[in-house]
Structure 1
Amino acid sequence: MRNSIEIAQYIKKIRERKGLSAVELANRVGVTKGTISRYESGTRKIPMDDIPKFASVLDISPVDILIESRDEPVEINSTKYPYYPIGISAGLPLCIDSIDENNVEYISIPDNLMGKWAGRKDIFMMRINGDSMNRIMPHDSLIAVRPVPLSNLRDGDIVVYSDGGDYAVKRFYRREDKVIFRPDSSDLSFTDYVTSADNIDLRIHGKVVLYIAELD
């Protein structure tokens, strides 16, 4: 059975895992934030009569709080990233009004999935919609995008770009005064999107550095 400090630390761990602040937990249990802080710091014991309240709020069993299980899941570190809930076209460029802070949400991704990109503050997440990149990334893949200056892009890099209000994800190529966005698809009906390097409406939003796909 856990001691009083271990009980408090377990409740804190579950609170944080569920994305609850100390204030939110206090309000739901019916105590003050200061009381929660004293519980979690170990300066005050949680009354046994209150354990069922914490269990109910955290959607766990009182037994889970009181008794350590050998089957408790291993803690997995995750990071929250800005997520734009807009399907970026992997087909013909798709007209979208804007991609800005008004659209942003946040999504938590396990660090072991993000690999060397885990925790990066300059990464944002999107989804692709369509099959023009399906040799690499299937439809509905979650993509991690990192802003990169145009001068740092290399031929063949996968980028998210827009031309006016038209957004898409394609491979990037530069040919003198032309910029070419090329599909990488098993469907040969998809063709290049070509524009001038001087196009003032052209914007490269970033390079795709990683994708996460659910396989059938």
Structure 2
Amino acid sequence: MELSKYVGSKIRELRESRGMDQDTLASKLKTTRVTISRYETGARKANQDVLFQLADIFKVSINYFFPTPQNLIPVTKTIKIPLLGTIACGDPILAEENIESYVDEPTEDLPSGKLFYLKAKGNSMKPTIPNGSKVLIRLQSDVEDSEIAAVLMTEDNEATLKRIKRVNGTMFLMPENPDFDPIIADKNNPARILGKAIRYTSDL
């Protein structure tokens, strides 16, 4: 609740508890009923002088008009997670190392480890990960089979986002969209896992 609305609710609470109408309170404050109404709805902020007058009229401490700690909305602690260059979902594109921006995330919702965001581009991971999504990645050098990973194509320094599958020591980068072909990571097309995809966010 906004502070002005909270203060207004306390003014109304005191006035009604004393059986006083807005006209009577307005007379005591030497103001108008409309002003009292605006104070009570929070449409107008009651300044310090007004609050001291009200405290005197109702014989309460001025602290009565302000929230106590249990009334305060807890502040969620956040950290800034870097958003790196775009990550390809489809034809791999150049993995930009520069930080484009930062994403604020509540700390209690985050997994442990070093985290960064990459932006998905393309349709190869639809419907699991839509084009344009910000994908949260936990930095780690390996993932389990069937997990989605950010993978650096080391030959061209390009990155892609795919589900990992291993067969006889060969790593396949599997798309979710059947219209796209798997990428085979081998000595002719070397790849390195950058991290595990944790979740994504998508703007409307």
TM range (shorter): 0.5 to 0.7
Structure 2, unmatched stretches of 5+, are 4-44, 49-64
**1:182–1:191 Cα contact (<8 Å) kept:** yes
Structure 1, unmatched stretches of 5+, are 3-62
1:167-206 to structure 2, matched below 5 A, reads 167-185=159-177, 188-196=178-186, 198=187, 201-206=190-195
The answer to whether residue 197 in structure 2 is matched with residue 213 in structure 1 is no
Shift, 1:104, TM fit: 5.8
Number of residue pairs aligned between Structure 1 and Structure 2 = 142
1:103-182 to structure 2, matched below 5 A, reads 103=99, 105-111=101-107, 115-117=109-111, 120-150=112-142, 153-163=143-153, 164-182=156-174
Q: Which amino acid aligns with 1:176?
A: N
- 1:68 and 1:169 mapped to 2: Cα distance? 51
1:24-43 to structure 2, matched below 5 A, reads none
Give the root-mean-square deviation of aligned CA atoms. Answer: 3.3
**CA 1:76 to 1:129, structure 2 compared with 1: closer, same or farther past 3 Å?**
same
- 1:121 and 1:171 mapped to 2: Cα distance? 21
- 1:189 and 1:168 mapped to 2: Cα distance? 16
**2:87–2:121 Cα contact (<8 Å) kept:** yes
**CA 1:64 to 1:166, structure 2 compared with 1: closer, same or farther past 3 Å?**
farther
Shift, 1:193, TM fit: 0.6
Which SS does the other structure have where 1:134 is aligned? Answer: coil
Q: Which amino acid aligns with 1:81?
A: I
Structure 1 residue runs of 4+, over 3 Å off? 63-69, 71-74, 102-105, 198-201
Deviations 1:69-109 (A, max 9, x none): 8x98763332211221x22111111134x42xx43643212
